[in-house]
A and B are shown apart, each in its own frame.
Chain A
């Protein structure tokens, strides 16, 4: 048993056990509060394309608790973005149930229950940074004074104070993405849906933004769903990692992270971190196995 492969297996088992214990203690401590914010049961979504049906989601079930930071990881075509879009009512499932805040995604969208961050910052070039953050507030009919206060507050939250009057082209890519996160935070939705928000940024900027995002999550107690295809990013950020695989898009593993809420960047060198990363990698590999 003491071969290399064997030791991997033992470490995995240990990690799994550890996760399960965590889950149990969670349940015993706060049974009522942990009613899921997002709950999916047997979701199916099939796109009809010219090349025949594409099974973007197949029998996807998942509960996301309040204050969770959930990462969705998997190769392209595994349905992670589609799942996020279903939560946001931007796609309609062909079968199954999903509730957001206890209601349908459509009702949640109309109640402005979530903020959505796209991969591209998508700031309007004809609006200043402040004007861009003001956009949802104008649409939702906040009065002027309230708008000003909120813009100032979320700019501070993403450390962009003083950039309110600048135009997007005057900011770096990382700063633009922070502004787009501020825009999603401006109207105080409890849920933040993020679709590969840092995918187009370089490693150093990405590390910095990950750190900032964790602090922000810790301060605001939002529920965050985060799509990525970076394993370190998923493990560093999440309390729960959902591993998905393609054709058909489905969940292959759900890992509850034993890492503490407060995480310095150095945590990525600890054995616990590497263990989880290993399990995510194994999950991704298993999902790919019968593809090759």
Chain B
């Protein structure tokens, strides 16, 4: 309970900054609408208002500020508006038995989650295998590691359409496949780097000790390197699953996909419904938070069972 106060303080501060920012972000659009409704403004035309800062617009038209918090299509919605939109596309629909409707964020979140988990599994497997190869072979270390680093310098938004084109050329109809590949592409790297560090973490004396037992390389891997890398693995997995989710959402943007949180964001942009974009963004953040928390619990349980945490 003692931790609740600082956590709440930060939360309230974020919400306060958000709330305060709504007025200046929306004032121009709000004034344009008010003008069309026949209100008298300072300055009178939209063209003249272009030359005036949002602050002075707010000062001169303070009667219209209330409007900025109740717009149908705000530049920046209030936290309350986002929460309402989120509830009406998730909880409310679920209560009405329409959780898997095409308008429900639960449905779109589920589509995104599936690809994320496939990408996460694929990326984690590749990352671990790559790390083992890098740790055990100097040649692989010198030939693979630079490419792994280069792979992460290519912007994923540039690469994602190419992966989609290539996979459709190969006759893969299922949209989930290229999405999972893009997701794995972002996810494998933190796992690879973390596992290389983890597998190399045993001290020299530890390896010498196994040598005095005349242990085989495989025994050294199984009994020393692998268990020693577990704490590193979990740290990497937490970064990896967040990256996998980002990869999936980016993969949903340019595909013309109609389902998934990324598709919701794109559609919201195209149809000029910022509330839908914000709701999808928050849903993605909540999903990431849940996934990372689950991994954190798995880490605690595993380390406790291994005896490495009290």
A118 at the interface (CB under 8 A from B): yes
Stretch of A23-31, A107-115, A215-223, A230-238 on the interface side? A107-115
When chains A and B are docked, how far (Å) is the Cα of A156 from the Cα of B243?
52
Assuming A135-B223, A139-B213, is B205 touching A118 (CB within 8 A)? yes
Q: Is B203 an interface residue (CB 8 A)?
A: yes
Separation in Å of the B310 CB from the closest CB of chain A? 7
Q: What total of chain A residues lie within 8 Å of the partner, measured CB to CB?
A: 25
CB distance from A62 to the nearest CB of B (A): 21
* Interface pair B208/A90, CB less than 8 Å apart: yes
The verdict on B306 contacting chain A, using a C-beta distance below 8 Å, is yes
For A167, list chain B residues within 8 Å (CB).
307
Within 8 A of A (CB), among B182-219: 203, 205-206, 208-215, 219
In the bound assembly, the distance between CA atoms of A127 and B213 in angstroms comes to: 17
Knowing A126-B308, A139-B219, the reply to whether A110 touches B205 (Cβ < 8 A) is no
- Chain A residue, CB-CB nearest to B224: A124
A128 at the interface (CB under 8 A from B): yes
A135 to B213: give the CA distance in the assembly, Å. 9
Q: Does B24 contact A (CB under 8 A)?
A: no
Contact, CB under 8 Å: B209 / A116: yes
Q: Nearest Cβ in chain B — how far from A81, in angstroms? A: 11
In the complex, A120 Cα to B203 Cα: how many Å? 10
Q: Are A127 and B212 in contact (CB under 8 A)?
A: no
Q: Does B79 contact A (CB under 8 A)?
A: no
Give the complex CA separation of A60 and B306 in angstroms.
Answer: 45
Cβ-defined contact, A90 with B211, below 8 A: yes
| Cα-based distance from A135 to B219 in the complex (angstroms) | 10
Q: How far is the CB of A34 from chain B (nearest CB, A)?
A: 26
Is A36 part of the binding interface, using a Cβ–Cβ cutoff of 8 Å? no
Chain B neighbourhood of A127, CB < 8 A: 307
A136 touches B (CB below 8 Å): yes
Which A91-125 residues have C-beta < 8 A from chain B? 109-110, 112, 114-116, 118-120, 122, 124-125
Tell me how far the C-beta of A112 lies from the nearest C-beta in chain B, rounded to whole angstroms. 6
- Given A125-B308, A126-B308, residue A136 in contact with residue B213 (CB < 8 A): yes
- Chain A contacts to B: CB under 8 angstroms: 88-90, 109-110, 112, 114-116, 118-120, 122, 124-128, 135-136, 138-140, 167, 169
